[in-house]
A and B are shown apart, each in its own frame.
Chain A
Amino acid sequence: MNKADKITVVILFILGVSLFFTPRLWQVEGGSVAVVEYRGKELLRIDMTINDSYDVQGDLGPVTVEVKDRKIRVSSEESPYHYCSMQGWVSYTSQPIICLPNGIEVRIISGESSGADTTIQ
């Protein structure tokens, strides 16, 4: 391992860490709204305060999205590797769930109408 190699590893490390942490600076835990998209097109807007499950149609079959205690996950789907259901519960805005073979993306958006604000009217 020469000097150039070490510099490369350091640069990759800095790049990786900064790319990893930059979106997390603006992340919000327990956002109130989640969106389900099919190839960039919005299919569903989910209220994260209600525990429920939703079905959307993906390319390979139905994709079931489940909400529980302001966390969201893909509980079942048809795909070769089941990566997106393996990902499990997600509660941060910086962690989108992507089901590539189904073309389905689930992500939490911060949502202006958080529970505390809407009750005071």
Chain B
Amino acid sequence: MRKSKMTTRKLTLITMLTAMAIVANIIENSITLPLVFPGVKLGLANVFAVIALYMFGAKEMLLVNIMRVLLASLLSGRIFSYTFFMSLAGALLSSLVVILFKRRSGLSIIGINCISAAFHGVGQILIVMIVMKSTEIVMYLGVMILLAIPTGLFTGFLSKMIFERIRKENYNA
């Protein structure tokens, strides 16, 4: 993909991606599914961060993710709470790992989403371990990783569809 020279256009697109990620995040947080492990989400907000990574690059993905976590928790009044630090750790860790994987492996956008979903869980569990001074939560890591497969595949196919459409329309040109 050609890199955009128009900074205003890029800025607008990143802002729009961030805005959509914030909305997805807030909607997801308001629906609590007491599934196997409480707190497991689909990760729709991550779709927009991955699209930012594919449209622009690593820096832009980090930007979308950090702004999303900050603004979504600010808007829902959860800023600087434990859930905020959990989302921040999850978003940061998964972004960094995904950036590395995109450069060093032959993964497509679908595999990238699976990795991202899995490391979101790892980051969150790390924060719980630090806050609770307890290692027992590691027992839930298996569940988190197993659930990352369906959610990662879902968001992966979604990102693929969206990204292909963006490429066809040539938004980035």
Contact = CB atoms under 8 A, between A and B. Distances in A.
Interface of A: 1-5, 8-9, 12-13, 15-23, 37, 39-40, 80-81, 83-84, 86-87, 94-96, 98, 100-101, 103, 105, 107
Contact of A16 (B83, B86, B149, B153): B149
B118 A5 contact: no
List the 9 closest pairs (A to B, CB-CB), nearest first.
A40-B133, A20-B142, A19-B142, A5-B111, A16-B146, A16-B145, A83-B38, A96-B136, A4-B106
Given A40-B134, A83-B38, A98-B137, A20 B143 contact: yes
Contacts of A2: 106-108, 111
Q: How large is the interface on B (under 10, 10 to 19, 20 to 34, 35 or more residues)?
A: 35 or more
A96 B137 contact: yes
Given A19-B145, A98-B128, A5 B139 contact: no
Contacts of A9: 111, 114, 149, 153
Interface of B: 32, 34, 38-39, 78, 81-83, 86, 105-108, 110-111, 114-115, 118, 128, 131-134, 136-139, 141-146, 148-149, 152-153, 156
Determine chain A's interface SS by DSSP, over half rule: helix
A16 B139 CA distance: 10
Q: Which has the most chain B C-beta neighbours within 10 Å: A8, A23, A84, A87?
A: A8
Contacts of A87: 34, 38
B118 A12 contact: yes
B131 A80 contact: no
Nearest to B131: A100
A105 B131 CA distance: 11
Contacts of A3: 106
Nearest to B86: A100
Determine chain B's interface SS by DSSP, over half rule: helix
Contacts, number: 108
Nearest to B107: A4
Q: Which has the most chain A C-beta neighbours within 10 Å: B83, B132, B141, B144?
A: B132
A16 B142 contact: yes
A29 to B, nearest CB: 15
Given A13-B149, A16-B144, A101-B82, 17 more contacts: A4-B106, A5-B110, A8-B111, A8-B114, A9-B111, A9-B114, A9-B149, A12-B118, A15-B145, A16-B142, A16-B145, A18-B142, A83-B39, A86-B38, A87-B34, A100-B131, A107-B136
Contact of A105 (B86, B105, B132, B153): B132
B114 A12 contact: yes
Contacts of A21: 142
A5 B114 contact: yes
B132 to A, nearest CB: 6
